[in-house]
Structure 1
């Protein structure tokens, strides 16, 4: 599936600007009056309708490369045990400030804030739906298709708002009253599910021609499965332990139904894959360098020279380019999580493994992490402190080290062929959702529903792609151990770990009052010594109040019907 190409569009309510396409061609519109279309005139042209709905796809860029909520790539995983941000100064070091000093978060000083931007997107989508109903001169089938596309986008925006806050304001149509109450979290998840279900019912299985890359039935079912999984997780794990707000939480008795809903929605995507719509790519490493992978359910495409990002400059090793930022690096906790090639667990207590820790590891290790001895861009990586260019430096020894503070660098999603990083930047694609994630959703939901055979089959498919043996799931504890492991390594640096720990209500266990680590590697005779080092230098904290982020104070002031989430 080809990803949708983004264009720069001037955003105004029901105002569509002429867009210069990447090909250099322009769009010619009859403008009457000169500065603004009337509502009715916009809807007379299907080209205008297309431009309006395509502009709403910009929301996906907010979350590309895991940059939400801080605004830096991989910032979400840097809130977890997967990545360490290297900077100790404001700006580049904001992630560290958040994990070390969460008390700085308040309703008037939010780091994890999507409220205003999210409701801006919702307003524009609801304007589209209103205009579509009032003015569009289209056949009912085409109207239904546009509605399905718009409701997918609205569901996606609400998905992020509810992940953050639990209880938010539901607006299913244009709202002219600025004062609106929060709805209960269970109602919010059901509203999101209804939008994705409608989209799944009315979107096509494939997009062709000019529509190629826009949302499809498979993407809708994938997001529907993810929505129900989140709702089921809250129903199972929250139990009103962390917040007594009357509107947060999902009734525990609904978990079975919601897990079943997630399993059923994911099963539709698996059926579509059996029909040839999706597949797991054979080479895990190449998956992230392909532009049009059949593993992708929905992709954001970038294209040089006009639509680019800076992932390579942000994470590449310093020898790649002068000016490399090295914003974040993998932790020892992540490196150690990858299995051996035969499926056995890696352990530093095993003398053979500890003596040469980077040999005979599973394929995802080599595709995800650059380590001492890696072959990269026609050189052998040297991450020992003796290498002054890209060797290990202790965290906080310099404010902006721009080198590894853990002994590792990111490999996943870097473009090994990009040799002109500063001038041409980067144009790797970002998969909003891919088939492997759907299989992991299906495995978790099926196992939680008591279908261990189905859970085993989906996990087997994910592990089989990287030649790892199957895990025969026979109990729920075994299921969750396998699921957490697979999601950590399969989805590393794809922005999922932080939200998994929150929905499982494990963040206060894994991320609170703890420190993460790296490996300081030094030459010793013909080999190396591997010293575990503290890459944090102070404890990280995750307050239980963070399971529900506050409503911004400005919204409380402006909306007289709005109440603050309890605990804030």
Structure 2
């Protein structure tokens, strides 16, 4: 395998120097002609490269949803976003969580319709040009497999939003297209990911390109939403049998690049400082890191998430004593399993050579929700900060841009996909096998469950294992658990007061209104502007 890291290159790079022959024949200056784009395998690869930023845009560090994709977990019970007024980070998530009526057919910050179809059209254009090109057959198949991976991924995201969309897999000038049936839509997702999986290599010649494992892993995720359990099971099983992947010995090490030794990473997007960066650290880091992180802590773990973790080595924790005020006993954070300590920063935790201080007037601070002025200004409202994915080696006091890789899919998720699909196929042994793989890595004992208890554990393990990775909101929707989990509920935290002789711990409510999730949010509306553009579309039922 080549060790050169493959960085995403814009299509604009294609052949900056072209032939000067036939200079009397004018050529467009705002785009590259099809003949140039497909004149060589190298050019065609650059064309495909222009699709890779899709992973950035829709991934955890991107901005497709709520102006920041990391905020989607703030729509659930496991995370709190701190902003409370429009313009402050995470404010839209808070507003949507308590006032879901703000989501309408005229406005929805979770909508991706226009952008997704823009990319789908580009991919269809690529597929048409590729088919007509004189490139070798093997090159065509490989590049088509990469392109179809992205098209299948985009249709999956659209289906995740709406439950039924318009399927277009060829170029067309027709403006009116009706919604396709859900079954037909999922057929396209499955066919595209299957084509990618069957035709891509296990190890790409250029490090960083989509591989067979990435395609099967994405299929295992998508087919859970389609409730095509056998397809999800088979796809996950394909990945689990690939020797190139393995769970990292340490949960905290599960988020590094495959090319730096993390065999758990299956699909990743590589950033490159200073050309291609993201702002995750600036948004999530604890407020005390330095003055430049004054907007840090905008996605914070809740007490609800903290209480899901087991003791190290197994066993439950009784938190009842800390559901009160002026408690002097230290919460049992130090006794919890490794996934907690790798995900959550709490008062007293070690971080960047110092100790986290989330008490009132501490270095990392605490503020009531809603914070004064609408922004928490780097102080926690739950008493916790998110640690997962934050770069502990990032100590630059001048430039807060970050470049740690995004691991979009890792092997632990595939084990959980495998477990959930197995459960729905009435295969309890394999369902237990899947969850026990991730539990054992965390030092927790194996389980042998069945029935409702097994399903509940699968959901719990998925929530804990993937907390802060931007999947929980979408999982609650596809499980149809969002109503019961969220409606009428508040999220909580711990307010800590330094008395000079120790600490007082106070159980607090961190929402200013109860959360709500009406059933119609299981399928988002199509924006009115799209209905005008395409008269053949009918609005999603309930909207």
User: If the length of structure 2 is used for normalisation, what is the TM-score?
Assistant: 0.92
Partner of 1:125: 123
Partner of 1:251: none
**5+ long unaligned stretches in structure 1:** 10-15, 20-25, 233-257
CA distance in 1 between counterparts of 2:235 and 2:20 reads: 44
Give the superposition deviation at 1:508.
Answer: 1.1
CA 422–180 in structure 1, closer or farther in 2 if over 3 Å, else same: farther
- Structure 1 residue 214 and structure 2 residue 209: aligned? yes
Aligned pair partner of 1:116 in 109, 114, 117: 114
Q: Is the 8 A contact 1:269 1:438 kept in 2?
A: yes
Partner of 2:412: 436
CA distance in 2 between counterparts of 1:353 and 1:149 reads: 57
What is the 5 A alignment of 1:529-540? 529-540=504-515
Partner of 2:24: none
What is the 5 A alignment of 1:110-189? 110-134=108-132, 136-189=133-186
Aligned pair partner of 1:311 in 273, 280, 297: 280
CA distance in 2 between counterparts of 1:534 and 1:103 reads: 22
Partner of 2:187: 190
Q: Residue by residue, what CA displacement relative to the aligned partner does 1:503-561 show, whole Å, maximum 9, x if unpaired?
A: 00011111222110111123468553322100002111111111111111111111121
Give the superposition deviation at 1:565.
Answer: 1.1
CA distance in 2 between counterparts of 1:390 and 1:335 reads: 19
Partner of 1:247: none
RMSD: 2.1
Aligned pair partner of 1:343 in 297, 305, 314: 314
Q: Is the 8 A contact 1:313 1:421 kept in 2?
A: no
CA distance in 1 between counterparts of 2:361 and 2:328 reads: 24
Give the superposition deviation at 1:6.
Answer: 2.3
Q: Is the 8 A contact 1:225 1:263 kept in 2?
A: yes
**5+ long unaligned stretches in structure 2:** 22-26
Q: Is the 8 A contact 1:313 1:422 kept in 2?
A: no
Partner of 1:23: none
- Structure 1 residue 394 and structure 2 residue 357: aligned? no
Q: Is the 8 A contact 1:88 1:396 kept in 2?
A: yes
CA distance in 2 between counterparts of 1:442 and 1:144 reads: 29
What is the 5 A alignment of 1:434-513? 434-473=410-449, 475-513=450-488
Q: Is the 8 A contact 2:348 2:356 kept in 1?
A: yes
Give the superposition deviation at 1:103.
Answer: 1.2
- Structure 1 residue 86 and structure 2 residue 60: aligned? no
Give the superposition deviation at 1:357.
Answer: 1.3
Q: Is the 8 A contact 2:328 2:503 kept in 1?
A: no
CA distance in 1 between counterparts of 2:6 and 2:107 reads: 34
CA 48–375 in structure 1, closer or farther in 2 if over 3 Å, else same: same
Give SS of 1:359's match.
helix
Give the superposition deviation at 1:340.
Answer: 0.5
Partner of 1:514: 489
Partner of 1:327: 298
Partner of 1:250: none
What is the 5 A alignment of 1:87-106? 87-91=83-87, 92=89, 93-106=91-104
Aligned pair partner of 1:423 in 399, 411, 425: 399
What is the 5 A alignment of 1:52-91? 52-65=47-60, 67-91=63-87
CA 197–87 in structure 1, closer or farther in 2 if over 3 Å, else same: same
CA 94–550 in structure 1, closer or farther in 2 if over 3 Å, else same: same
User: If the length of structure 1 is used for normalisation, what is the TM-score?
Assistant: 0.88
CA distance in 2 between counterparts of 1:336 and 1:6 reads: 40
CA distance in 1 between counterparts of 2:270 and 2:162 reads: 29
Give SS of 1:392's match.
coil
CA 214–508 in structure 1, closer or farther in 2 if over 3 Å, else same: same
Give the superposition deviation at 1:415.
Answer: 0.8
Give SS of 2:382's match.
coil
Aligned pair partner of 1:409 in 371, 385, 398: 385
Partner of 2:521: 546
Q: Is the 8 A contact 2:301 2:344 kept in 1?
A: yes
CA distance in 1 between counterparts of 2:20 and 2:475 reads: 49
CA distance in 2 between counterparts of 1:439 and 1:79 reads: 25
CA 348–305 in structure 1, closer or farther in 2 if over 3 Å, else same: same
CA distance in 1 between counterparts of 2:69 and 2:538 reads: 33
Give SS of 1:221's match.
helix
CA 34–555 in structure 1, closer or farther in 2 if over 3 Å, else same: closer
Give the superposition deviation at 1:451.
Answer: 1.4
CA 356–80 in structure 1, closer or farther in 2 if over 3 Å, else same: closer
